[in-house]
Chain A
Amino acid sequence: MTAMGGMRRVPADAWIGLVLLAVCGVLLNDLLATEGSGAFVKTTTLPTALVIVIGLLSVVLLGRALWHAAGTRPAAPGAGVDPAAAREARAGLLRVGAMVLGIVAYILALPWLGYFAATALFLAGANLLFGNRRPVSLIAVALLVPLALLLFFERFMLVLLPSSRLLG
């Protein structure tokens, strides 16, 4: 598993270790600036200790990844990479990105379009992203699922779902 091209690739674990270390630095800074109170054990004692432990484990992760990388021969540029697999991997990541954006859009749309419309639109889009190209099943899922959920929650469970600010 590698994360970057070059003469000797830096393993993904090393990048993760570095990112974790940076995050730990920010968190430790915040915790040390917080004035903790409490008898014998302060408010910030446990979180501070945990951040230090995560930081130490990250150093081990980073060191181990670099140690393994140093022990392996650097691959020739492009060697062992299947272009079709690389394309599929990129397409997979793009689909993940699109799905994340879709969920963000869905959450943002909920208060404006209301539960039914926002959910129907999201379901239609997500079905397309998953490769459903059959219009009948796509429309049926997009309309029936939010309708059933709306009735279940609002009529049976008596729990209100978001209503539309735009449509009233």
Chain B
Amino acid sequence: MDMFLAGLEMVATPTALAMIVAGLLIGIVIGAIPGLNVPLAVAIALPITFSLTPIGGLAMLVGIYKGGTYGGSLSAVLINVPGTPAAAATALDGAPLTRQGKAGKALKMSLYASIIAEFISDIALIAFAVPMALFALKIGPAENFALGVFALTLVGVLAQGNMIKGLIAGTLGLFLSTFGVDPLTGDFRLTFGFRELAGGWAFIALVIGIFAVAEVLGVVERRLTREAQTGKVRLGDPQHSLDRDDWRRSLPAIGRSSAIGAFIGAVPGLGAAVSAYLNYGITRNMSRHPERFGEGAIEGVAAAESGNNAVTGTTFAPLLTLGVPGDVITAIMLGAFIVHGLIPGPLLFAQQGDFVAAFFIMMLLATFLHLVIGRLGMPLFIQTTRLPNAMLFPVILVLSVTGVYVTTHNFLDLFVMLGFGILGYGMNRFGFPIAPLLIGFILGPLVEVGFRQAMILSRGSLDIFVTRPIAAGFLLLALATIAIVAWRETRGRQVPS
């Protein structure tokens, strides 16, 4: 109790509160702009935090992290251009809802699902930080491979009804992830003699290309088919409001995705994009009406967004308890801890108990303020639907080019972005789903590195994947998913539509 009160005293200062609000505002803006990413914003804000109190500085960084993770969904829902890779899963159903004139519904569900997931993740961090971190350390290469394979089966889920094209897209995504230097041996592969390809395809260029540029090319082909809304858009209108049925569909998805996402957050190296797609796929697979997904299913938005934001709390578990940063953002934040004389790890809890309590309170407070700011900003965000195509889409292209440039500072990546834009446009035009390609690209390194490292550990024996219980469990889940997909595909062919 003393620790709690001492922690509360550290957080309940105008500086700490102002830093959380500033961080959230910056994060939401950065997250919503395609190409700008949260690690970039956290890295830029890092020096600012040096002059603040430890909790004040970290409050700003946590605000940016939480705001940025959510911000990507705004552009995904409103203009079908995900601000972050993880928000691409939100776009699958959020953008169709906007096209149906229900942008407010999608935005509200996106915010509320994010907040519930963040809250559950914060509580999981506070209650189970140590056991979660210790369990996460048991996730080795074999488990990473098995989890990757399980997540890859979602390609089949997302491709239902168009299996061959979905599988081609998913395999192509995996293949694209293998370009450049081999992460294990350092050998060059598929570079065709170009030094610029040594690092592989820039992730940000691929994501922005196949979503933003492809969307713009599709719109310019059809020219002004999207009618801009006239008059002020009001969130209270029935088509923008969440009803009881929306919540009935979404709450189970939010609960499940938050739990799975909180676990994924604690495992170093997985991250929000894996969680968002994994939860979207699981929710679709468990749905009695999977055909509604991709057409504006509100539970699709709920699953993707809660999966996305559920990592934001537990990603700190390995950092705080073991001193192991799980991703780029927590690695940058580790710098902020060290600069302020705080060494994350077991001793942090023993020697700086007040600070740990303050950190936990600050996480919860940031989640609450996220809800307030997100809700207050929503009437403003939704006015984007009033912008005519002629103005909006050229600006999206400029934002895309700018976002890729500021991330990579490489003009070649702008052409890579355009190339993937043309590929995405062609895929849309000829009925190839884009989501499997992105999933394959995200999971490729996890699957390949996991498999090869596991083979080295087991000296070439495949037994490692069945003798380790967690890996075997994930592989069994993968088999079950394949069986369900195959059964549905067969049944779909038998039942005339």
Q: Closest approach, in angstroms, between the C-beta of B23 and any C-beta of chain A?
A: 14
- On chain A, the residues within 8 Å of B182 by CB distance are 38, 43
Q: Which of B352-409 contact A (CB under 8 A)?
A: 388-391, 393-395, 397-399, 401-402, 405-406
B3 lies within 8 A of chain A by Cβ? no
A119 touching B411 by the CB < 8 A rule? no
For the complex, is B5 an interface residue (Cβ under 8 Å from A)?
no
For chain B, residues 28 to 42, give those with C-beta under 8 angstroms from any C-beta of chain A: 40-41
Bitwise interface map of A from 3 to 35 toward B, beta carbon under 8 Å scored 1, else 0: 000000000110010001000000100110010
Contact of A41 with B452 in the complex, beta carbons under 8 Å: yes
Considering the chains assembled together, what is the distance between the CA atoms of A129 and B391 in angstroms? 11
Per the bound structure, the CA–CA distance linking A104 and B421 in Å amounts to: 12
Q: Does B415 contact A (CB under 8 A)?
A: yes
**B221 adjacent to chain A (CB < 8 Å):** yes
A153 and B113 alpha carbons, distance in the complex (Å):
31
Q: Is the interface of B mostly helix, strand, loop or mixed?
A: helix
Bound Cα distance from A41 to B453, whole angstroms? 9
Which residue, of A20, A100, A107, A110, has the highest number of chain B Cβ atoms within 10 A?
Answer: A107
CA distance A23 to B389 in the complex (A): 36
Mask: chain B, 77-104; 1 = CB below 8 Å from A; 0 = not: 0000000000000000000000000000
Q: Which of A35-78 contact B (CB under 8 A)?
A: 36-41, 43-44, 46-47, 50-51, 53-54, 57-58, 60-61, 64
B187, A12: Cβ atoms under 8 Å? no
Is B44 an interface position by the 8 A CB rule? yes
> Chain A contacts of B171 at CB under 8 A?
50, 53-54, 57
Smallest CB–CB gap between B26 and chain A, Å? 9
- A contact residues around B220 at 8 Å (CB): 92, 95-96, 99, 129-130
Rounded to whole Å, the gap between the CB of B196 and the closest CB of chain A is 15
B487: A residues at CB distance < 8 A: none
* Also in contact, A46 and B178, with CB within 8 A (given A61-B164, A126-B394): yes
Do A39 and B411 have beta carbons less than 8 Å apart? no
In the complex with contacts A107-B418, A130-B390, A157-B44, A34-B189 CB distance below 8 A: yes
Whether B185 and A38, one on each chain, are in contact in the complex, defined by CB atoms closer than 8 angstroms, is yes
One digit per residue, 1 when the CB lies within 8 angstroms of any chain B CB and 0 when it does not, for chain A 113-156 equals: 00100010011001101111000010001000110010001000
Contact B425 A96 (CB under 8 A): yes
Count how many chain A residues have C-beta atoms less than 8 Å from C-beta atoms of the other chain.
Answer: 61
Specify which of B389, B415, B422 is in contact with A107 (CB 8 Å cutoff).
B415
Label chain A's interface by main secondary structure: helix
Contact in complex: B393, A36 (CB < 8 Å): no
Known pairs A61-B164, A153-B402; A100 contacts B411 (CB<8 A) = no
How many A-B contacts if CB must be within 8 Å?
157
Contact between B418 and A30 (Cβ–Cβ < 8 Å)? no
Give CA–CA (A126, B393) in the complex, Å.
8
Residue-wise interface mask of B (422-462) relative to A, using a CB-CB cutoff of 8 A (1 in contact, 0 not): 10010000110000000000000000100110011001100
Q: Are A95 and B223 in contact (CB under 8 A)?
A: yes
Considering the complex, give the chain A residue whose CB is closest to the CB of B407: A159
* Complex Cα gap A54–B285 (Å): 25
Interface contact B402-A161, CB-CB below 8 Å: yes
Q: Tell me if A51 and B44 are in contact (CB < 8 A).
A: no
Partner of B460, one of A40, A99, A107: A40
Are the C-beta atoms of A41 and B415 separated by less than 8 Å? no
Q: Is the CB of B185 within 8 A of A37?
A: yes
* In contact, B221 and A96 (Cβ under 8 angstroms): yes
Given A44-B189, A93-B221, A54 contacting B168 (CB threshold 8 A): yes
Further pairs besides A38-B184, A157-B406: 11, Cβ < 8 Å: A13-B430, A31-B189, A50-B178, A54-B168, A54-B175, A57-B168, A92-B220, A96-B220, A99-B220, A126-B393, A161-B402
A-B contact pairs, 7 of them (CB 8 A): A34-B188, A38-B452, A50-B178, A61-B164, A107-B415, A159-B44, A161-B402
Question: Which A residues are within 8 Å of any B CB, using their own CB?
Answer: 1, 12-13, 16, 20, 27, 30-31, 34, 36-41, 43-44, 46-47, 50-51, 53-54, 57-58, 60-61, 64, 92-93, 95-96, 99-100, 103-104, 106-107, 110-111, 115, 119, 122-123, 126-127, 129-132, 137, 141, 145-146, 149, 153, 157-159, 161-162
For the complex of A and B, list the 10 residue pairs with the smallest distance between their C-beta atoms, beginning with the closest.
A126-B394, A132-B390, A130-B390, A92-B221, A50-B175, A40-B455, A47-B178, A43-B182, A43-B187, A40-B460
